[in-house]
Amino acid sequence: MVQPRYITDIDQITQIPKEEREKLKAITDKFVFRVNDYYLGLIDWEDPEDPIKKLVIPNTNELADYGRWDASDEDTNYVVPGCQHKYTTTALLICSEVCGAYCRYCFRKRLFRNDVKEAMIDVEPGIKYISEHPEINNVLLTGGDPLILAARRLDMIFERLREIDHVKIIRVGSKLPVFNPMRIYEDKELLDVISKHSKNDKRIYIMAHVNHPREITKEAYKGFQALHDAGAIVVNQTPVLKGINDDPEVLGELMDKLSWAGVTPYYFFINRPVRGNEDFVLTLEEAYNIVEEAKAKTSGLGKRVRLSMSHTAGKVEILAIEDGKAYLKFHQARDGDYGRFMVLDCPKDAAWFDDLPGNEQFWTPPQKKVEEVVSVNEMSDIPEKHRRRRSPALK
């Protein structure tokens, strides 16, 4: 099985001028860098505004004083180390700290700090918690990218979850279908594991992260088909990102290509105000208008997508922004306020729920439940230099 070569040293990317590479080293010292030669091959190096390049090549504004490391206060969602339980029916297992490549907009950049340990090799405490909470009927494996894990390790995690009768759906968050589709369609062991555990009444869902239609290559189509053939359901979610997909034509094409491939457009997200993400920020009004124009260009299958903010309080769906007002509802809610409708003033520069005057009346800041989980927002802005040893299971 021929796999792409992974690159973690910016100096190895000679398409970037040497002088620019030197400037970018200050960023790769703070935020980890990783990409592969397959994905680099999708970049048009003649275009300084190439969206694929912006997705994985660092930008100097990552050092700007913008955002928080944990913008949605995920530290308050942990119930045991490695397991989050924010919404009643859904639990998250943070089971990988490695990705096929590192997106520069990533909302979990904190996981890739040298001095943070949230992803757990040992998933048993999380599985025990899930087994004791019958209200949890679906579990999301995330990180990091779980499809980076060895097939035998995924088999073990799936096996343990399938022993819990009330867990009906297993979800796997992954960008590998476009970062490294060969990992999927050339790995029979991985596909056999998915096929083994994705049953007629208990499906495995792959929550793909496709941000731009140019990522959907013939290899990506082959990867989607292999997942479908293995019995998985594939859906897609992407933030709406300035300079990458903030164009109705691009988003419309993305929805069409996904629908044609049998991949459901599931969520458009507002970019979270995370440390280093300033270059990708759109206002709420800009994002809403782009999405609505894009939806007008696609079929009803594409229009199934929802635009929302993954806020501390819950998934806040944007229903409309008109005449200086934001019309919102809780699509998911930490406090059980599912479906609550909200109308708030929407300043022109508002880019997050917190920017809307009066938002405080609709939610209460949560408290941490697990002291062992660090609150990265309280740590130094500059990660410690030393590298911790990485477990062979995560390589």
Cβ count within 10 A of residue 72: 20
- Mean pLDDT for the stretch of residues 73-102: 94
What is the spatial distance between Cα 299 and Cα 295, in angstroms, rounded to a whole number? 8
β-pairing, 314-322 vs 325-330, is: antiparallel
**What band does 392 get if pLDDT is binned at 50, 70 and 90?**
very low
CB 131 within 8 A of CB 162: no
pLDDT tens column, 134-171 = 999 999 999 889 999 999 999 999 999 999 999 999 99
What is the spatial distance between Cα 219 and Cα 225, in angstroms, rounded to a whole number? 10
What is the spatial distance between Cα 170 and Cα 204, in angstroms, rounded to a whole number? 5
* pLDDT at site 114: 65
What is the spatial distance between Cα 132 and Cα 137, in angstroms, rounded to a whole number? 12
> Looking at 93-97, 357-361, 388-392, which range is the least confident one?
388-392
* pLDDT at site 121: 84
Sheet with 306-311, edge to edge strand ranges: 78-80, 83-87, 90-94, 138-142, 169-174, 204-208, 233-240, 264-270, 306-311, 314-322, 325-330, 341-345
pLDDT tens column, 280-319 = 999 999 999 999 999 999 999 889 999 999 999 999 999 9
pLDDT tens column, 93-129 = 999 988 888 999 999 888 777 677 777 888 999 999 9
Q: What helix, strand, coil percent values describe the chain, rounded to 5?
A: 35, 20, 45
Question: Does pTM surpass 0.75?
Answer: yes
Question: What percent of the chain lies above the pLDDT cut of 70?
Answer: 96
Measured CA to CA in angstroms, residue 69 lies from 72, 195, 281, 380, 381 at distances of 9, 37, 15, 10, 8
Note the helical H segments in 204-318.
218-229, 248-260, 284-295
* pLDDT at site 389: 35
- Mean pLDDT for the stretch of residues 227-241: 98
**What band does 201 get if pLDDT is binned at 50, 70 and 90?**
very high
CB 135 within 8 A of CB 86: no
The DSSP call for residue 14 is: T
Which residues, 6+ apart, have CB-to-CB distance to 210 below 8 Å? 175, 177, 178, 216, 220, 236, 238, 254, 258, 263
* pLDDT at site 385: 59
The residue with tokens 């792959």 is 206
Closest CA to 331 of 346, 315, 320: 315
What is the spatial distance between Cα 238 and Cα 246, in angstroms, rounded to a whole number? 12
Q: Which residue has the higher pLDDT, 254 or 370?
A: 254
The DSSP call for residue 64 is: S
* pLDDT at site 390: 37
- Mean pLDDT for the stretch of residues 351-373: 94
Q: What angle do CA 257, 258, 260 make, to 5 degrees?
A: 65
- Mean pLDDT for the stretch of residues 342-369: 97
